[in-house]
């Protein structure tokens, strides 16, 4: 086995990294269970939220992919699933006609309105209320730094290098 370019993780670093991985999986599982009664995945819920917050409930596909840190392919699959359920639709962008935008339907907005309380309750239960306010702020600072580093390593089409 060769030595990593930047050196091995210390035992302390490994413990924190593994705690993060386990917490991420547990949080995702908990959030997915909370959304199951609405037949939504966490990604689908987040996509509906992004569209609901956008002007006219519409966003260009590229902008939506970038804001969610998804590849265009992954976003296209998610949009296709939501289109089959009549929760969103795609249309040419009115500003240039070349691009495509995703638009939230009334049915999509209504489903989001019904799912939001369960989502918010689960975020509070598994994440916000699980730590002290000081630790919550520290997590926010840490995740902001991690996200900035990851974004620096993205290519122009959103892939990590």
Per-domain residue ranges for the chain?
11-130
Q: Mean pLDDT throughout 143-152?
A: 92
Domain 11-130 in CATH 2.170.120.12? The answer is no
Sequence-separated (6 or more) residues with CB below 8 Å from residue 160: 150, 153, 154
- Please report the pLDDT score of residue 158 as a whole number: 61
pLDDT value at position 159?
64
> For residues 151, 18, 15 and 124, what is the CA-based torsion angle, rounded to 10 degrees?
80
Nearest to 57 by CA among 30, 85, 24, 91: 91
- The tens digit of pLDDT for each residue in 12-25 reads 999 999 999 999 99
- List the one residue out of 98, 86, 103, 90 whose CA is nearest residue 50: 103
Q: How confident is the model at residue 97 (pLDDT cuts 50, 70, 90)?
A: confident
Average pLDDT, the chain: 93
Q: Which residues make beta-bridge pairs with 104?
A: 88
Q: Tell me the pLDDT tens digit for each residue of 50-84.
A: 999 999 999 999 999 999 998 889 999 999 999 99
Q: Is 94 strand, coil or helix?
A: coil
- The stretches of the chain forming alpha helices (DSSP H) are 11-35, 42-53, 61-68, 72-84, 106-126, 133-152
Q: Which residue has better confidence, 11 or 154?
A: 11
Question: What is the Cα–Cα distance from 32 to 58, expressed in whole angstroms?
Answer: 25
Q: How confident is the model at residue 48 (pLDDT cuts 50, 70, 90)?
A: very high
Whole-number pLDDT of residue 148? 92
Instruction: Specify the pLDDT at position 160.
Output: 61
């Amino acid at each position: 086995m060769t030595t990593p370019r930047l050196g091995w993780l210390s035992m302390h670093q490994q413990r924190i990294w593994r705690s993060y991985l386990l917490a991420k999986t547990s949080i995702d599982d908990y959030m997915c269970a909370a959304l199951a009664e609405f037949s939504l995945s966490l990604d689908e819920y987040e996509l509906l939220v992004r569209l609901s917050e956008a002007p006219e409930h519409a966003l260009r596909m590229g902008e939506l992919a970038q804001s969610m840190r998804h590849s265009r392919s992954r976003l296209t699959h998610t949009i296709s699933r939501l289109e089959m359920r009549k929760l969103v639709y795609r249309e040419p962008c009115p500003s240039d006609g070349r691009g495509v935008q995703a638009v939230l339907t009334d049915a999509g907005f209504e489903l989001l309105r019904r799912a939001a309380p369960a989502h918010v309750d689960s975020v509070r239960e598994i994440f916000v209320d699980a730590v002290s306010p000081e630790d919550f702020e520290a997590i926010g600072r840490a995740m902001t730094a991690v996200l900035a580093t990851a974004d620096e390593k993205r290519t122009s089409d959103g892939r990590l290098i």
